[in-house]
Amino acid sequence: MAVKALQAVSQGRNGVGAFILQCKRIDLHYCDWAGSSKGMNGFIKSLFPKFAAAHPQIEFTVSPRPAKHPVAIGHYINGRSKPICVRNMEPYEILKKLELLRDASGEKLKKVTKPVRSVNESVRGIWSPYHGNGMPL
């Protein structure tokens, strides 16, 4: 009898081989006129260059968005994006939000009850009543 391979789709497991940061792009929008953008303007001038240099794997774009609140949008490898409005925030608060964007995967927020997620089959195998020593009565 010929040995046939099992057909299976490959499951990506980030970190097992190489680790790839899920956040690929962060857009920062600021406004020169709006008062709510004061923190964002200060952040772009002071803390942002160091943060951007520390993350060469993320593409950063900084562009004005006149007469609107400042916003930071994170784009992820799974195609989703996370906008965070940073109106009336101080530069260090905006840095924390950028760190949140960097740490996130793009997945939707979900309540997870089981801590371990695995695609491996069980190590011991599935119990069968026909194998092993049987059930002594």
Partner 1 sequence: MSRTLLRSLLELRAAAPARPSALRPALTTTATTRSLHQTPSQIDPLPQTQSSAALPPSPPKPSPTSIPRCGGAPRTTSPATPETLQLLPLLALQPGNKYLQLYIQGQSYLVTPGDQIRLPFKMPGVVPGDVLRLNRAVAIGSRDFTLKGSPYVDETLFECRAVVEGTEAEPMRLKIKKKQRCRRTKTVRSKHKYTVLRVSEVKILAPGQEGQQ
Residue 107: C-alpha distances to residues 13, 23, 81 (Å): 15, 11, 9
Residue 85 Cα to chain centre, angstroms: 18
If one asks whether residue 116 binds partner 1 (CB under 8 A), the answer comes out as yes
Judged by CB under 8 A, which stretch of 12-20, 27-35, 41-49, 67-75 contacts partner 1? 12-20
Q: Kindly determine how many residues on this chain lie close enough to bind partner 1 according to the rule CB under 8 A.
A: 30
Query: Token pair for residue 55?
Result: 């993350």
Q: How far is the CB of 120 from partner 1 (least distance, A)?
A: 4
Cα separation, 89 vs 105, whole angstroms: 24
Nearest CA to 69 among 26, 49, 101, 39? 39
If one asks whether residue 100 binds partner 1 (CB under 8 A), the answer comes out as yes
- Per CB under 8 A, the list member of 6, 119, 126, 137 interacting with partner 1 is 119
- Per CB under 8 A, the list member of 7, 57, 63, 128 interacting with partner 1 is 57
Nearest CA to 34 among 85, 87, 83, 73? 87
Cα separation, 70 vs 90, whole angstroms: 12
If one asks whether residue 124 binds partner 1 (CB under 8 A), the answer comes out as yes
If one asks whether residue 10 binds partner 1 (CB under 8 A), the answer comes out as no
Cα separation, 93 vs 39, whole angstroms: 9
- Per CB under 8 A, the list member of 53, 67, 117, 126 interacting with partner 1 is 117
If one asks whether residue 69 binds partner 1 (CB under 8 A), the answer comes out as no
Using CB under 8 A as the criterion, which residues of the chain lie in contact with partner 1 when the complex forms?
13-16, 19, 21-22, 56-57, 100, 102-105, 107, 109-112, 115-120, 123-125, 132-133
